[in-house]
Amino acid sequence: MIGRLIPTATVGGVIRDYTDAEARAALPLKWGRAPEGVIPAWVAEMDYAPAPAISAAVNAAVGRGMLGYPPFDHPMVTGLEEAFASQRRLLDDAAHELRTPLTVLQGHLEVLDPTDPDDVRTTRTLLLDEIDRMTRLVHDLLLLAKAERPDFVRLERTDVEALTLGALERARGLADRSWVLDAVARTHVDVDPQRLTQALLQLADNAVRHTRPGAEVGIGSRVHDGHVELWVRDTGAGVPSALRGTIFERFTQGDGEQAGFGLGLSIVAAIMEAHEGRVVLDPPGATSGATFRLVIATGGLW
């Protein structure tokens, strides 16, 4: 079966599956114009109709009483619409964030004196820095877009202790901090080790941004309350209470953040969502700093 279609001439809720040939014959409905006898309800292959056209067509049919009950939103149609809306928001956010570095590039090139070697050298350094920032932004946005795909994570039996130690060793190269191993969980769990390492290093980079050289940053893991937890803690100023509710949203930045776009924690959240887990920020404690935890169910625990 390619998908499911609703006969427009049928009243009373009769819905049947169409064959592959019948579905392919309905290709003109790609832009929401249905051939005589059918309109789209939901389609497994997106080549046949975009989600908004699918939703509009099925709700229009139901609204006209063709099926004998009130308008509704089918879960698959609703899910597709939400995915499209998420992608549109991502593009809108990207356009907004790219506007600033592009304006910087244009402004400096417009006032550049090509006959002044010092001006050329200074402008070149500045523009290369802006290009590097835009490259990182595009890379992060592509990663967030890929997070919607089912193959974003590849699960395998993973040694949590080895993963924790490996992340700590990689984090030592990020900056001059006092990197500490808090604890290790000596167990195995089904995860994507590369993605989880990526999430831990993203949290470590976030800790570096909010601490001074030599400050302590801890990385650890444990089995707790039916879950595997991996964390990164820092000894910085902590997360302001006003940001705690939105800290994992795209482009959320704390005060004094160094050259970041505010995508790091949203990437971590996307990685954990793909693992059917979550990332949490510990409540404020007696000491300063912030602790972010990656929490994964131990369903496949050894």
Per-residue model confidence as pLDDT tens digits over 262-274 = 678 888 999 999 9
> Sorting pLDDT into bands at 50, 70 and 90, what band is 30?
very low
Share of the chain above pLDDT 90, in %: 36
More reliable by pLDDT, 202 or 134: 202
User: Is 27 exposed, middle or buried, given 0-12, 13-18 or 19+ CB atoms closer than 10 A?
Assistant: exposed
Residue 238: per-residue pLDDT: 86
Reply yes or no on whether the pLDDT at 76 is more than 90. no
Q: What's the pTM?
A: 0.62
Residue 43: per-residue pLDDT: 39
Reply yes or no on whether the pLDDT at 148 is more than 90. no
- For the segment 188-210, the average pLDDT, to the nearest whole number, is 93
More reliable by pLDDT, 186 or 63: 186
Reply yes or no on whether the pLDDT at 207 is more than 90. yes
Residue 52: per-residue pLDDT: 55
Residue 103: per-residue pLDDT: 82
- For the segment 42-63, the average pLDDT, to the nearest whole number, is 49
> Sorting pLDDT into bands at 50, 70 and 90, what band is 101?
confident
Share of the chain above pLDDT 70, in %: 63
- For the segment 124-143, the average pLDDT, to the nearest whole number, is 83
- For the segment 138-146, the average pLDDT, to the nearest whole number, is 79
Residue 34: per-residue pLDDT: 42
> Sorting pLDDT into bands at 50, 70 and 90, what band is 38?
very low
More reliable by pLDDT, 300 or 216: 216
Reply yes or no on whether the pLDDT at 215 is more than 90. yes
